[in-house]
Amino acid sequence: MTDKNRLRIAVQKKGRLSDESIKLLKAIGVKLSIRDRLLIAHSTNLPIDLLLVRDDDIPGLVMDGIADLGFIGENELEEKMLERQASNEPAEYKTLKRLEYGGCRLSIAVPNEFDYKGLESLNQTKIATTYPYLLKRFLVANNINAQPVMLTGSVEVAPRAGIAEAICDLVSTGATLEANGLEEATEIFVSKAVLIQKSEALTAEKQKLVDTLLPRINGVMQAKE
Ligand code: PRT
Ligand code: ZN
């Protein structure tokens, strides 16, 4: 059960942002009792509940005002915002803090044998991606006539499978591209994890709690420098 008087924070349940987000909450004094498989976790010392969900769901939960705060990658956040704007759904949020983890870039990559000579080489290609809105925005801004092909997984094998000539995917070390015979052609979006808040005002008590937590996040981040 959740209590609407408790601050609700959406956190990725399992994945690249989970551990760091939970670690940060603990570092700022939020004691948590997290049990596997549950969607909700309660803080044992503060009026805070965590919603443990897939990262894809976090921007929408905050934009719909169901979660008060959320830890999310900017790539996912911006994509969801563009998707919602395109269908006239609520897409508002406030960024409280850009964090120091989850760093990656969204890049277009092509097979090693692709004769890439600059962006114009991408004209008339199909580009497989999980981020069609971010890709489309880049293509339009650069006047490239390519077709995004939506894939929710295995994007890096799309060229070999004959589904697309290029891909647009997240890169951190570059090892995945290399292992799949792909080369980065151009970076289109740089991302880190961020802490966001719903745009609608919080109750005074919840806002007060957020106002005490934020300086602690700054403190933890400064201590790491
Ligand atoms: O199950 P759920 O939907 O919650 O998780 P998910 O599988 O969608 O996401 P997850 O946990 O993989 O990533 C969550 C967030 O972490 C992303 O939205 C980014 O903000 C951030 N992040 C940082 C990354 C990476 N680095 C990253 N390298 N997300 C994914 N990758 C993948 C990339 O897609 C590619 O397959 O890692 C591979 C490339 O890595 P390198 O090191 O080989 O270049
Ligand atoms: Zn996801």
pLDDT digits (tens, 9 = 90+) for 33-62: 888 778 999 999 999 999 999 999 999 999
Model confidence at 2: pLDDT above 70:
no
pTM of the model: 0.97
Q: Which numbered atom of ligand 1 lies nearest the CA of 72?
A: 20
Q: Kindly state if the Cβ of 56 falls inside 6 Å of ligand 1.
A: yes
**Single-letter amino acid code for the residue at 77:** L
CA-based nearest residue to 12, from 69, 63, 60, 71: 71
Q: Kindly state if the Cβ of 12 falls inside 6 Å of ligand 1.
A: yes
Q: How far apart are CA 28 and CA 217, in angstroms?
A: 6
Residue-averaged pLDDT of the chain: 96
Q: What is the mean pLDDT of residues 62-87?
A: 98
Q: What's the gap in Å between 67 CA and the centre of ligand 2? A: 17
Q: Kindly state if the Cβ of 59 falls inside 6 Å of ligand 1.
A: no
